[in-house]
Chains A and B, each alone.
Chain A
Amino acid sequence: MVLNVDGMTKSFGGIRAVDALSFELVPGEILGLIGPNGSGKTTVINVLSGALKANAGRIQLLNRDIGQLSTHEIARCGLARTFQIVRILPAMTVLENVAVGGVFGHGRYWGAALDRRAKDLLQRLGVRHGADTPATALTYIDQKRVELARALISDPKVLLLDEWLAGLNPVELGIGISLIRDLRAEGRAIIIVEHVMDAIRSLCDRCVVMNGGQKIAEGTPGTVLADRAVISAYLGDEYGDA
Chain B
Amino acid sequence: MSAINRGKFILVALAFGTAALLPFFDTGYWLSLGVSLAMYAVLATSWTLFSGPTHYISLATAAFFGTGMYVVGGGVDLLPYPALVLIAALTGAVLATLVGLTTMRISGVYFVIFTLGLAELIRQVVTWVQTTFTSSSGLYVLTDITESMIYWELMSLLALVYLAGWMINHSRLGLALRVIGNDETVAAHIGINTAKAKVMLFIISGTVASVCGALLAPRWVYVEPTIAFSPMISFQVVIMALLGGVHRLWGPLCGVIPFTLLWEVIAAQFPNQTTLLLGASFLLIVYFIPNGIAGLLENFPKQLQSKNGG
A and B touch in their complex, CB below 8 angstroms: yes
Q: Is the CB of A71 within 8 A of B182?
A: no
**Interface residue A103 (Cβ < 8 Å from any Cβ of B):** yes
Number of chain A interface residues as a range: 20 to 34
Contact with B along A79-110 (1 / 0, CB 8 A): 01100000101111000000011011110001
Q: A75 with B189: in contact, given A87-B183, A91-B181, A92-B182 (CB under 8 Å)? A: yes
Task: Tell me the B176-200 residues at the A interface (CB within 8 Å).
Answer: 176, 178-179, 181-183, 185-194
**Interface residue B172 (Cβ < 8 Å from any Cβ of A):** yes
Chain A: which residue is nearest B195 at the CB level?
A70
Among A76, A91, A103, which residue has its beta carbon within 8 angstroms of that of B172? A103
Among B186, B193, B194, which residue has its beta carbon within 8 angstroms of that of A89? B186
Q: How far does the alpha carbon of A70 sit from the alpha carbon of B185 in the complex, in Å?
A: 12
Q: How far does the alpha carbon of A81 sit from the alpha carbon of B191 in the complex, in Å?
A: 11
Q: Is the CB of A106 within 8 A of B185?
A: no
**Interface residue B101 (Cβ < 8 Å from any Cβ of A):** no
Q: Is the CB of A71 within 8 A of B183?
A: no
Contacts of A49 in B (CB 8 A): 189
Task: Tell me the B154-193 residues at the A interface (CB within 8 Å).
Answer: 172, 175-176, 178-179, 181-183, 185-193
Q: Is the CB of A91 within 8 A of B182?
A: yes
**Interface residue A51 (Cβ < 8 Å from any Cβ of B):** yes
Contacts of A228 in B (CB 8 A): none
Q: Is the CB of B182 within 8 A of A90?
A: yes
Contacts of B178 in A (CB 8 A): 91-92
Q: How far does the alpha carbon of A101 sit from the alpha carbon of B186 in the complex, in Å?
A: 9
Contacts of A70 in B (CB 8 A): 188, 193
Chain B: which residue is nearest A110 at the CB level?
B172
Among A72, A73, A89, A106, which residue has its beta carbon within 8 angstroms of that of B183? A89
Q: Which applies to chain B's interface (DSSP): helix, strand, loop or mixed?
A: helix
Contacts of A106 in B (CB 8 A): 191
Chain B: which residue is nearest A87 at the CB level?
B186
Q: Is the CB of A150 within 8 A of B185?
A: no
Q: How far is the CB of B171 from chain A (nearest CB, A)?
A: 9
Contacts of A9 in B (CB 8 A): none
Report the count of interface residues on B (CB-CB < 8 A). Answer: 18
Scoring B178, B191, B193 by chain A CB atoms within 10 A of each residue's CB, the highest score goes to B191
Contacts of B176 in A (CB 8 A): 103-104
Task: Tell me the A105-145 residues at the B interface (CB within 8 Å).
Answer: 105-106, 110
Q: Is the CB of B189 within 8 A of A76?
A: no
**Interface residue A214 (Cβ < 8 Å from any Cβ of B):** no
Chain B: which residue is nearest A89 at the CB level?
B182
Among A50, A75, A90, A92, which residue has its beta carbon within 8 angstroms of that of B190? A75
Q: How far does the alpha carbon of A70 sit from the alpha carbon of B195 in the complex, in Å?
A: 11
Q: How far is the CB of A138 from chain B (nearest CB, A)?
A: 15
**Interface residue A154 (Cβ < 8 Å from any Cβ of B):** yes
Q: How far is the CB of B222 from chain A (nearest CB, A)?
A: 46
Q: How far does the alpha carbon of A34 sit from the alpha carbon of B178 in the complex, in Å?
A: 35
Contacts of B193 in A (CB 8 A): 70, 72-73
Chain A: which residue is nearest B172 at the CB level?
A103
Q: How far does the alpha carbon of A75 sit from the alpha carbon of B181 in the complex, in Å?
A: 19
Q: How far does the alpha carbon of A105 sit from the alpha carbon of B188 in the complex, in Å?
A: 10
Q: Is the CB of A51 within 8 A of B191?
A: no
Q: How far does the alpha carbon of A147 sit from the alpha carbon of B187 in the complex, in Å?
A: 13
Q: A104 with B189: in contact, given A87-B183, A89-B183, A90-B182 (CB under 8 Å)? A: no
Q: Is the CB of A72 within 8 A of B194?
A: yes
Q: How far is the CB of B277 from chain A (nearest CB, A)?
A: 33
Q: How far does the alpha carbon of A87 sit from the alpha carbon of B182 in the complex, in Å?
A: 10
Q: How far is the CB of A70 from chain B (nearest CB, A)?
A: 7
Q: Is the CB of B191 within 8 A of A76?
A: yes
Chain A: which residue is nearest B188 at the CB level?
A71
Contacts of A101 in B (CB 8 A): 190
Q: Is the CB of B182 within 8 A of A72?
A: no
Among A75, A91, A110, which residue has its beta carbon within 8 angstroms of that of B191? A75
Contacts of A73 in B (CB 8 A): 193
Contacts of B179 in A (CB 8 A): 89, 92, 100
Q: Beyond A75-B190, A154-B191, list 10 extra A-B contacts (CB 8 Å).
A: A75-B188, A80-B189, A80-B190, A87-B186, A89-B179, A91-B182, A92-B179, A100-B190, A103-B175, A150-B190
- 9 interchain pairs, CB-CB under 8 A: A71-B188, A72-B191, A72-B193, A92-B182, A100-B179, A100-B190, A104-B190, A104-B192, A106-B191
Residues of B within 8 A of A (CB): 172, 175-176, 178-179, 181-183, 185-194
Please provide the 6 A-B residue pairs with the shortest distance between their CB atoms, ordered closest to farther.
A105-B191, A104-B191, A75-B191, A71-B188, A89-B182, A104-B192
